[in-house]
Structure 1
Amino acid sequence: MEICLDESNAVWVMLHSGSRGVGNAIGQHFIQMARRDMAGHMHNMPDKNLAYFSEGSVHFDDYIEAVNWAQEYARVNRQEMMKLVLNCLKVHLPKFSLTSEAINCHHNYVVREHHFERDVYVTRKGAISAKKDQLGIIPGSMGAKSFIVRGRGNPESFYSCAHGAGRKMSRAAARQRFTRKDLEAQTRGVQCRKDRGGIDEIPAAYKDIDQVMQNQSDLVDIVHTLRQVICIKG
């Protein structure tokens, strides 16, 4: 959860949460089921990780239903978390008013859409929807900028753009390379966890968000640039 300020010092509350462990459990369950199904009609599959369900099969429909449930569960979680955060802020801050601008932005999800004259299932992994004039959120790393964007509706990207900066090194590599002093220096001005437990989230472990935004300028337009002042990671 982050408290951010935009270019006019308006306050934004930004939070990131998914289906948590239940989504992973659903995925593992159906991966194993797909492997068993494939073994029954393809004995020489080159890699067990290529197992899949055929559209129209019972397990395919069950999987889609479970995925949709997990995605809705994640959305409701975020809705409830936002209520809790705002109620907390009302206790500790002077009276303020809420705007009507709230952006709910999935990433790492599956959706049925129409592209290139076909109905298809689109999996946006590390990506968000960027349809024409659709608002989205592209977060940077802890201590870097984040962006509110408006989609340009580029069909070549299946109306998508990057979800965020993306890591350029693993969590383990970041812990080996950087120190607590590095973390303190790179998150100066941001109230956040600065002990060794937070080193894996150090900004240097992520790609340059400005370069990422430049690389996808044909996919989205920047509406607001946000800077974090408080960052709480669960």
Structure 2
Amino acid sequence: AVGWAQGWARLNRELMMDAAMAALSKAVPKPFTTDCEAVNCHHNYVTREAHFGDNVLVTRKGAVSAKEGEMGIIPGSMGAKSFIVRGKGNRDSFCSCSHGAGRAMSRNEAKKRFTLADHAAATAGVECRKDEGVIDETPAAYKDIDAVMAAQADLVEVMHTLKQVVCVKG
């Protein structure tokens, strides 16, 4: 059942990419083509793999695969940059890396600590929701993405750094 659900999710991501590319080709007046690899990276999943001489089930919760040469995406928070990375295949990490900064505090703590004004200031320049329903997702509720990336330099190589301009939540 898990394999079926993960396959469905992958196909869903592929269909969304196809739809996005079709919409872009209609909206952008200059014809363009893409000749590079699409990065299709899921997180919070389980997979069968071989590690240290054993066949095991690896659950990646808050993590993604970072096999040698494998491309991945590590998103920042609503107001932080994101990264396109290439895995280094670090065996000690089960060829994994984080899939984001990770929370610095609980959702309830963030709701108590931050105001809508704090959230609006933290997400200035980013088109996103700026209402009570996303206060728990405000950037300061997460760890610093630069520190997280520095801590996993032995797991991934940063290929591209992306500046966030739009964030869709909910």
TM-score band w.r.t. shorter chain = over 0.9
SS at 1:228 equivalent? coil
The alignment covers a number of residue pairs equal to 169
Q: Which amino acid aligns with 1:106?
A: H
Identity of aligned residues (%): 63
Paired position in structure 1 for 2:21: 86
CA distance in 2, matches of 1:180, 1:89: 33
Most deviating of 163-172 and 78-87: 78-87
Q: Which amino acid aligns with 1:78?
A: R
Shift of 1:131: 0.9
SS at 1:181 equivalent? helix
Q: Which amino acid aligns with 1:140?
A: G
SS at 1:150 equivalent? strand
CA distance in 1, matches of 2:84, 2:160: 5
Could you list the structure 1 runs, at least 4 aligned residues long, displaced by more than 4 angstroms after superposition.
Answer: none
CA distance in 1, matches of 2:128, 2:44: 26
* TM-score, normalising length: structure 2: 0.92
CA distance in 2, matches of 1:160, 1:229: 27
* TM-score, normalising length: structure 1: 0.68
The partner residue of 2:142 within 206, 210, 213 is 206
Q: Which amino acid aligns with 2:58?
A: V
Q: Which amino acid aligns with 2:138?
A: I
CA distance in 1, matches of 2:62, 2:115: 28
CA distance in 1, matches of 2:139, 2:109: 13
Q: Which amino acid aligns with 1:219?
A: L
Shift of 1:126: 0.9
The partner residue of 1:123 within 59, 67, 70 is 59
Unaligned runs of 5+ in 2: none
Paired position in structure 1 for 2:3: 68
Shift of 1:189: 1.1
CA distance in 1, matches of 2:33, 2:112: 44
CA distance in 1, matches of 2:50, 2:90: 14
- In structure 2, the CA distance between the partners of 1:184 and 1:123, relative to structure 1 (3 Å rule), is same
CA distance in 2, matches of 1:91, 1:201: 33
- In structure 2, the CA distance between the partners of 1:185 and 1:232, relative to structure 1 (3 Å rule), is same
CA distance in 2, matches of 1:212, 1:205: 14
The alignment yields a C-alpha RMSD, in angstroms, of 1.4
Paired position in structure 2 for 1:174: 110
Quick check: which has more Rg, 1 or 2?
1
The partner residue of 1:222 within 155, 158, 162 is 158
2:40 is equivalent to residue 136 of structure 1: no
Unaligned runs of 5+ in 1: 1-65
Equivalent positions of 1:176-191 (< 5 A) are 176-191=112-127
CA distance in 2, matches of 1:74, 1:193: 25
SS at 1:144 equivalent? coil
